[in-house]
Amino acid sequence: MSGELVRSSLGSLSYDPAPESASLARLRERYGLFINGTFTNPDEHAQFASLNPATETTIATVAQATSGDVDAAVRAARRAYEDVWSTMPGAERAKYLYRVARLIQERARELAVVETLDNGKPIRESRDVDVPQAAAHFFYYAGWADKLQHAGFGEAPAPLGVAGQIIPWNFPLLMAAWKLAPALAAGNTCVLKPAETTSLSALVLAEILQQAEFPAGVVNIVTGDGNVGAALVEHPDVNKIAFTGSTEVGRAIQRRLSGTNKHLTLELGGKGANIVFDDAPLDEVVEGIVDGIFFNQGHVCCAGSRLLVQESIEEELVWRLERRVEQLRVGDPLDKNTDVGAINSAAQLARIQEISASGEVEGATRFTSSCALPEKGYWFAPTIFTNVSQSQRVAREEIFGPVLSVLSFRTPDEAVAKANNTTYGLACGVWSEKGSRTLWVAERLRAGVVWANTYNRFDPASPFGGVKESGFGREGGRHGLEGYLDV
Amino acid sequence: MVARAVDTVSRGTWMSERLDVRKTYKLVVNGAFIRSESGRSYEVVDASGAFLANVAWGSRKDVRDAVAAARAAQTKWWSTSAYNRGQVLYRLAEMAESRRDEFAALVAASEGRSSADARTIVDVAIDRVVWYAGWTDKVAQVFGGANPVAGPFFNFSLPTPSGVVGVVAPASSSLAALVDQVLAPLATGNAVVALASHERPTPALLLGELTVTADFPPGLLNVLTGTRDELAPVLCSHEDVDGVDLSGVDDEDVAPLALRCAESIKRVVRTGFNGEADSLRRLRGFLETTTVWHTVGQ
């Protein structure tokens, strides 16, 4: 077949829906808080709805914790720390964590459906990334629990005590795993605060902790709005705050903790540059760019939201990219064929719309996929801005949505300068067949993660975290223990 | 007889009471010794209250100039090989060694110590410089490494410097504390803007002077003197400062400075001066980790 024929037949291909069953989620109608090993009675709390962002229907209602509830959770964590967890041999803590890892695998399909219903992400991603990575994190850190003396922090590194952990809505279960697994392995007890719009997978995780017969109070989960997180940050008996979320909130937390003895790690926003040199294999590059910015609807702090392309290939790459983006299937997150799911909330959708509108006002050229969008739910079609200058909002602000800004460069020096021209420093990508140049660029990028000829890869053994205003501290790997040890 | 007569005429007691040549200690900024742009200076006295030296009284503009110099120097410093960085820091120890007497005299006068105690402090401080010099080419191996990820990738973590680090030295210690606070970030590839003790600044300024003969890139270590109330807030608010060591700040004074640090998410280190655990905390405190994933394939 000629190229033209291939293109036209590809263009006419359509897929029948292949939906996963929502009933696999087995959710309760109402949830209490998970404190001291048991769920509180939902009737004791004000309840708020957790919506499916793809349909705007209520999946379950969740408890709004009060500061008194947070206090009860911290007290339970303190008791568990003093009486059980800090004195338990590391090998025993390890076995509890291994149990959790296994149970996540056992309930993987259920968890994937819960995550997709609550978050709006494609089932393909929750099934292939979020849930297996969450299990892998518990597996990885389980093995550290009885080997802390070999982690490079001295012969007997001590835990910090009670850790307050506040996580975002973009990878709800995975972020819970990133926070809990290293903290527990190091011997801390935890009070976890899920994001307001995505509490459900953490509450299923609470059931898993019960199944694993975790000692009461070692992990407590308090749901609700930002006031719950604030109460946790301010609680006098919390030794450590670990936060993942926006730079704005991270800054507020650092302010609150200034002058206190509480330990803090922050994993904040980003405006990742994906740098493409003219010798890079363009087919792979296109897939990498798509993974970089449209994975998880662009709700990724390390998203490759700025494409920096060498000038000589800009035109061709943008043409290929727009053609590829036109093929992305946007819609029902439960459909196994879906590439791009629903925006997590009305508020986030409004923010994406607002910044995207500014891109047009400020003179950038907008390309938006012509894909059909469902009538109900929160949706934003994949969008690419070209003719972007560094001063425009679409090049500077974290959009946290499926919106890519394209800038160009001529020399490696210019690529590095533009990539680093941001207050953030979380992640970057480099695409080139020339290893020496890739490493040269990687050495000069001020970022916590550099992906070379790939993007958005995660692994429990790989430290993740930012520099500059993307935060401090690392999650993953041996480095991830440091934030939970008194070293 | 004649010579003696001349002596009597000129001074009378010159053998025992020579009129001393008083030194003005200047700021060390960008490898130069400058008066404060504000034109101010202040008198430093020794522990007994006797005049010790005139010292420049730095301003917020001096802090900003020092940060700009440090930023430029840091790029150069980090592009130097770890081996060479070690040599430069070791050279500082060599320079300090040859000025032991001067350091000891200043420490003794500043802190009101016996010369034997002051000598011990100086010797320990110089040995600390040697210790830190040896870290430059160990940092990557001790704090970094390869990560066994599940996939066709070679994945490694490189410790990288935070960038520009501000140091606030304690009021009481004239040399020992500052050496730890300054050398740790230098050894990990950072550039430093140090605010010396207001009351006891001269040993720190001497250390700053030695950097010029120790092949430090200009601006790598800047030493400022002045009042902490005026300068520390500027250092903590400066958006191009990546981290600060506030170990020299008392408990009751730290909160407002730390609050300023939050505005640009600065790394804040505050720890003691009690041995290796504190030194390692300082080494790690201004290190970032950059993790590189590279595809592996045929």
Tens-place pLDDT, residues A261-303: 999 999 999 999 999 999 999 999 999 999 999 999 999 999 9
Tokens at B117, concatenated = 């105690």
**Residues A103-118: pLDDT tens digits?**
999 999 999 999 999 9
How far apart are alpha carbons A146 and A185 in whole angstroms? 8
Helix (H, G, I), strand (E, B), or coil: what is residue A57? strand
Q: Could you tell me the pLDDT band of residue A15, with boundaries at 50, 70 and 90?
A: confident
CB atoms within 10 A of CB B271: 17
- Which tens digits make up the pLDDT trace of A133-153? 999 999 999 999 999 999 999
The verdict on A209 touching B (C-beta cutoff 8 Å) is: no
pLDDT reported for residue B4: 44
Confidence of residue A237 (pLDDT cuts 50, 70, 90): very high
pLDDT at B1 over 70: no
Q: Do A258 and B258 touch (CB under 8 A)?
A: yes
B20 pLDDT band, cuts 50/70/90, is confident
Structure tokens at B290: 């950059």
> What per-residue confidence (pLDDT) applies to A1?
40
Nearby residues of A444 by Cβ (< 8 Å), 6 or more positions away: A416, A420
Judge whether A462 and A448 are in contact, CB under 8 Å: no
| Dist. CA A37–CA A76, nearest whole Å | 9
Q: How far is A258 from chain B (nearest CA, A)?
A: 5
CB-CB contact of A416 with A310 (8 Å):
no
The minimal CB distance from B290 to the residues A258, A450, A453 is found for: A450
pLDDT value for B92: 98
- In the prediction, which pLDDT does B5 show? 43
261-300 of A, contacting B, C-beta below 8 A:
266, 268
Contact status, residue A148 vs residue A186, Cβ threshold 8 Å: yes
- Residue A50's beta-bridge partner residues? A60
> What does CATH list as the number for B21-295?
3.40.605.10
ipTM for the predicted complex? 0.95
Q: How far apart are CA A369 and CA A356, in angstroms?
A: 14
Interchain contact, A462 vs B147, CB within 8 Å: yes
pLDDT at B15: 56
User: Is A362 within 8 Å of A392 (Cβ atoms)?
Assistant: yes
Instruction: Tell me if chain B has a CB within 8 Å of the CB of A465.
Output: yes
Look at strands A403-409 and A306-310 and give their pairing: parallel
Cβ contacts from A onto B, under 8 A: 116
What torsion, rounded to 10 degrees, do the Cα atoms B96, B141, A431, A408 define?
-20
Are residues B235 and B168 in contact, defined by beta-carbon separation less than 8 angstroms?
Answer: yes
Backbone angles phi, psi at A133, to 5 degrees: -65, -35
Interface residue A438 vs chain B (CB under 8 A): yes
d(CA B258, CA A138): 34
pLDDT of residue A7: 53
Integer angstrom CA distances of residue A308 from A216, A277, A411: 50, 9, 11
pLDDT score of B131 = 98
Condensed to tens digits (0 to 9), the pLDDT of residues A143-192 reads 999 999 999 999 999 999 999 999 999 999 999 999 999 999 999 999 99
Distance (Å, rounded) from C-alpha A438 to C-alpha A430? 6
CB within 8 Å: A464 and B291: yes
Question: Which residues 6+ apart lie within 8 Å of A315 measured at CB?
Answer: none
Structure tokens at B92: 């500082």
The pLDDT score that the predictor gives to residue B139 is 98
What pLDDT does A12 receive? 58
A84 touches chain B (CB under 8 A): no
**Which amino acid, one-letter code, is at A330?**
V
- C-alpha distances (whole Å) from A10 to each of A334, A337, B124 are 24, 16, 74
Q: How far apart are the first and last CA of chain B?
A: 95
Phi, psi of A18 (to 5 degrees): -130, 70
- Report the gap between the CA of B101 and the closest CA in chain A (Å): 37
pLDDT value of position B22: 85
Residues of A marked as catalytic: 267, 301
| pLDDT digit string, tens, across residues B97-139 | 999 999 999 999 999 999 999 999 999 999 999 999 999 999 9
Helices (H), A226-336: 226-234, 247-257, 282-294, 311-326
Helix, strand, or coil (residue A291) = helix
CA distance B255 to chain A (A): 4
- C-alpha B287/C-alpha B298 separation (Å) is 34
Instruction: Name the helix (H) or strand (E) containing A35.
Output: strand A34-35
Q: At what angle do helices A200-211 and A90-106 cross, to 10 degrees?
A: 120
pLDDT digits (tens, 9 = 90+) for A403-462: 999 999 999 999 999 999 999 999 999 999 999 999 999 999 999 999 999 999 999 999
B213 backbone φψ class: left, alpha, beta (φ>0; ψ -120 to 50)? alpha
What is d(CA A333, CA A341) in angstroms, rounded to the nearest whole number? 5
Which chain B residues have a beta carbon less than 8 Å from that of A442? Answer: 290, 292
Q: What is the mean pLDDT of residues B253-278?
A: 96
Using the structure block, give the residue that is written with the tokens 């790394």: B267
Q: How confident is the model at residue B275 (pLDDT cuts 50, 70, 90)?
A: confident
E-strand ranges in A316-377 read 365-368
Q: Could you give the CA distance from residue B58 to residue B36 in angstroms, rounded to a whole number?
A: 5
pLDDT of residue A485 exceeding 90: yes
Q: What is the pLDDT of residue A130?
A: 98
Can you tell me the distance from the alpha carbon of B250 to that of B260, in angstroms, rounded to the nearest whole number? 16
Predicted confidence at residue A89, as pLDDT, reads 97
User: Per-residue pLDDT averaged across A326-349, rounded?
Assistant: 97
Q: Is the pLDDT assigned to residue A47 strictly greater than 60?
A: yes
- Are the C-beta atoms of A167 and A140 separated by less than 8 Å? no
How far is residue A193's CA from residue A74's CA, in Å, rounded to a whole number?
12
What DSSP letter does each residue of chain B carry, written as one string?
-HHHHHHHHHTS-TTT-PPP-PPEEPEEETTEEE--TT--EEEEE-TTS-EEEEEE---HHHHHHHHHHHHHHHHHHHHS-HHHHHHHHHHHHHHHHHTHHHHHHHHHHHHT--HHHHHHHHHHHHHHHHHHHTTTTTHHHHH-EE---SSSEEEEEEEEE-SEEEEE--SS-SSHHHHHHHHHHHHTT-EEEEE--SSS-HHHHHHHHHHHHTTPPTTSEEEE-S-HHHHHHHHHH-TT--EEE-TTS-HHHHHHHHHHHHTTT-EEE----SSHHHHHHHHHHTEEEEEEEEE---
Instruction: Say how far residue B256 (Cα) sits from the centre of its chain.
Output: 23
- What percent of chain A lies above the pLDDT cut of 70? 97
pLDDT at residue A5 above 90? Answer: no
pLDDT of B6 reads: 45
DSSP SS3 for A213: coil
Q: Give the sheet arrangement for strand A427-431, strand by strand.
A: A365-368, A383-386, A403-409, A306-310, A273-276, A427-431, A449-452, B287-295, B153-161, B145-146
